[in-house]
Amino acid sequence: MIPEISNGLFREWNAKLHKWPVMLTSGERVTIEQAKEIIRRTDSFLIRGYGGNDHSFNRRLASRLRMPHYNDHSVTPELTFDQQLDLREKWHTAWSVIEPHYVNNDWISTSYAGGPNGWCWPTGQISYTEHVGKWPTIEEVLEDWTNLAKAFPFLDLAATLMSETDSPIATILVSEGRAKAVAGSCSYHDKYPPIVFRDYDKEPHDFSYEAEHGLPAIWFYEWEIMAQNLSGLAE
């Protein structure tokens, strides 16, 4: 459940949020195996069933992972909306998906101009400097981090939502399986490895489908084996 607003603080913080607020995130590095599990359960492609412009890649991976919610009749049969929603929910449950309001990873297949991205990197680094989404509330972002903290109690991080003038509004602290919101301060990030700020002006801008994918191919082979053992799904 979304945490109750107390003492008017959430209302005050939400009033300072703008349409696309940045969420600065830093934390203790996790192991690659931990990062793999986080991304497996939180990546946008697996949750939504669609991704970037490399439709051939998307179609093949959806088939390998038995994703019934991938909207392509060459992979999944033609179903009613309710049937597809039911299969999607069954797959999410079998795959242990954590579906957020806003706090996403987007490494598998993305059309984002900046390329694959997310708060948990495949290397295990915890770092994020992008906008968190359109018109979020502090309560929704806190609920996301609360669910992530419960699922991955080894997480130790701080996530600060910024105002339109780049002032910290609220910081969410995650550790020991819990998340709490406090008045925003960038000083909470001082204890963690430096945040990585990407310089898009220095990155190549030549389009290629390969640039839409940010994970090692071996991960997909491992997940394909896992998918074959999922029960309760239509073939």
pLDDT, mean over the chain: 88
Of 198 and 166, the structure prediction assigns the larger pLDDT to: 166
Instruction: Assess contact for 116 and 214: CB atoms under 8 A.
Output: yes
Which of the residue ranges 109-123, 138-152, 199-213 would you say has the lowest mean pLDDT? 199-213
Query: Considering the domain boundaries, does residue 126 fall inside one?
Result: yes
Nearest to 55 by CA among 77, 71, 69: 71
Determine, yes or no, domain membership for 93. Answer: yes
- Domain contains 234: no
Is 160 a member of any domain? yes
Q: Which residues contact 213 (CB under 8 A, 6 or more apart)?
A: 52, 54, 57, 107, 108, 109, 116
- Structural domain that includes position 147: 9-200+210-228
Residue 31 lies in a domain: yes
pLDDT of residue 213: 93
198 against 133, higher pLDDT: 133
Q: How many CB atoms lie within 10 A of CB 7?
A: 7
| Tens-digit pLDDT profile for residues 5-42 | 455 889 999 999 999 999 999 999 999 999 999 999 99
Is residue 120's pLDDT more than 70?
yes
pLDDT of residue 214: 94
CA distances from 151 to 37, 54, 94, 214 (A): 10, 31, 15, 23
235 part of a folded domain: no
Alpha-carbon distance of 170 to 35, in angstroms, equals 26
Q: 49-99, pLDDT tens digit by residue?
A: 888 999 899 999 999 999 887 766 555 567 777 877 888 899 999 999 999
pTM: 0.90
Contact by Cβ (8 Å): 46, 58: no
Q: Is residue 3 part of a domain?
A: no
In the chain, the number of structural domains is: 1
Q: Looking at residues 204-229, what average pLDDT do you find?
A: 84
Q: Would you say residue 4 lies in a domain? A: no
Q: How much is the pLDDT for 2?
A: 43
Mean pLDDT of 109-123: 93
